[in-house]
Structure 1
Amino acid sequence: MTYGREEACAAIAMPPGLATVTMGYRWMHNMIGESGGGVYRLHGRQDAPDLFLKHGRGMVADDIADEMVRLRWLSDHIAVPTIRRFVHTGDEAWLLMTAIPGQTAYQHLTARPHDRLAVVDALATFLRQLHAIPVDTCPFISDHHHRLMQARARIDQGLVAEDEFDEEREGWLAEEVWQAMQDLMPFTPDRVVTHGDFSLDNILLEDGQVVGLIDAGRIGIADRYQDIAILWNCLGEFDDALRSHFLRRYGVADVDNRKLQFHLMLDEMF
């Protein structure tokens, strides 16, 4: 089941080595969260595992290279896709990875309404495990200062999709969101290893347990609300009660609404 999140497509142009490895697969184009690049699921090749391919040019190619490095580091700590091939030629990059078994958390919540609390329990447990990775082992910084610089560059280059802002900021300009973020600072970060885009489409489950993460290009040290805010926001699509359940299971006794709102607005920039 894809729930409108992907559609069949033709194979894209690739370097010869990659074209050989992917020969015989059927292609599905992922329509969620591409940020200017392309994400493809390759399936249907007899006696061969499914694969995922990320492709992009320019800044997106650099992002793909960043994700490749982060995947190699993160694989020592939690389950992530295995890199099969990585090619970076000038202004273009391709990252071919194995597919983690299971379905996304979004698929689970959509297909199994009676199991939603159990799914949220599994997500909260896994997020605590991710945030328990020792900070001093992580070589990547993704804190709000770093990401604000990226956000400012995206605003200046006209890359922020203002028409896709959450309902609370519908009709806002990127500059208005930027100013609202400034008004919420400063705050003291609670530094942990974060995923950076801990959304329902990036978390894989099987038999009721989280079995891995995808889309690891923002992995790095940041305030824990970087992940808490994004998952909290996603759960609101299904039921506000799931948001409260998630916070309790994760261990948030008193919600820091300032950090929550700041990180929700920061995510609008990407």
Structure 2
Amino acid sequence: MSLPPGVTADRVEEIDVGLSGARVARLYVSGRAVAVFKAAGTDRPDLVSELAATERRLRRLVGTPLPVPRLLDSGEWRGERWLTMEHRPGRAAHEPGHERSALIAALARALRELHATSLSGPPFPLGPDVLLERARERVASGLVDRSWRAAGHRPREGGNAAGALRGLAERLSRTEVSGPVLLHGDYCLPNVLVDDDGRWSLIDLGRMGVGDRHLDLVDMTGSMLSDLNPSFGPRDAEAFLDAYGRDRIDPERVELYRELDAFFWPV
């Protein structure tokens, strides 16, 4: 893998997870992983936008107590937008080798600490209005109906995605935001690194914003129930909610945000 001038490494390990369609690699110096490199072609504005969003959020997180990657450098080179970030220790939560109860405790602790963190300056809004607008764009493009047909999903309201979204939007309009709190925005198993001592780090922060805590709760429990993570299941999802704190969770809001999440399934 070629790297921009000034980005050096003794060894480059390409990674096939993360931003779909982007170049992602782990960079080693003297046998130690020191950085993560991500790049996307400028002919893919969606991926370039995701990289730019990650850069903005990492800059804003400087000075907070959250264990997140430090932005090292960024730029454009040979028709690509790229950035390098500090490599964080630990293994992704979905990887084998974690003691399950300790892992779930770490995932819940990480989310509570994230939700208790304040950012200086204007927030990155991630409330229901923002999410519903994105969902409307996906419905209008036909992506949602195609993804639902592929999954055999039948909405509980309306015969199609547009009808289902109208009903969901009406119910969300009557529901107060819980918080609002700082959200990861994609709080799934691969985006939390945990080491053998239970220390955690958060990665892939391009969707971070301020909104309802139940969005992150739905993302993590959905990740635990996904076919992509067959070693996890309903017992783990319930244990995670217990560890986060049932007193902070409204089951009706969990259901609302779970329905909203269905509008963002991949095609």
TM-score (norm 2): 0.79
Q: Note the C-alpha offset of 1:94.
A: 1.1
1:244 aligns with 2:245: no
In the comparison of the two structures, how many residue pairs are matched?
249
Cα distance in 2 between the residues matched to 1:220 and 1:128: 15
Task: Tell me the residue number matched to 2:223.
Answer: 234
Among 79, 87, 104, the alignment partner of 2:75 is 87
Q: Which amino acid aligns with 2:67?
A: A
Is the Cα contact below 8 Å between 1:103 and 1:206 reproduced in 2?
yes
* 1:59 and 2:46 are equivalent in the alignment: yes
What 5-or-longer segments of structure 1 have no aligned partner? 1-10
Tell whether the 8 Å contact from 2:27 to 2:37 is kept in structure 1 after alignment.
no
C-alpha distance in structure 2 between counterparts of 1:76 and 1:188, whole Å: 30
Displacement, 1:85? 1.5
- Tell me if the contact between 2:22 and 2:47 (Cα under 8 Å) persists in the aligned partners: no
Cα displacement (A) at 1:101: 0.9
Distance change in 2, residues 1:182/1:30 (3 Å): same
Cα distance, 1:59 vs. partner?
A: 2.7
Cα–Cα, structure 1 residues 85 and 165, in superposed 2: closer, same or farther, change >3 Å? farther
Amino acid corresponding to residue 30 of structure 1 in structure 2: D
Q: Which residue of 2 aligns with 1:100?
A: 88
Inter-partner Cα distance in structure 2 for 1:166 and 1:250: 33
- 3-state SS, counterpart of residue 113 of structure 2: helix
Pick from 13, 21, 26 the counterpart of residue 27 of structure 1: 13
Return the letter of the residue paired with 2:252.
Answer: R
Q: Is the Cα contact below 8 Å between 2:102 and 2:198 reproduced in 1?
A: no
Identity %: 27
Residues 42-91 of structure 1: CA distance to partner in whole angstroms, max 9, x if unpaired?
24543453422222331321221111010121232211111121115798
AA in 2 matched with 1:242: D
1:7 is aligned to none
Question: Do residues 170 (structure 1) and 173 (structure 2) align?
Answer: no
1:179, 1:132 → 2: CA distance? 32
Contact 2:193 2:202 in 1 (8 A): yes
Q: Which amino acid aligns with 1:93?
A: R
Name the Cα RMSD after superposition: 3.1
Q: TM-score, normalised by structure 1?
A: 0.78
Structure 1 residues 263 and 205: CA distance shift in structure 2, 3 A: same
Mark the CA change 1:136 to 1:165 in structure 2 (over 3 Å): closer, same or farther: farther
Equivalent of 2:62, from 43, 56, 75?
75
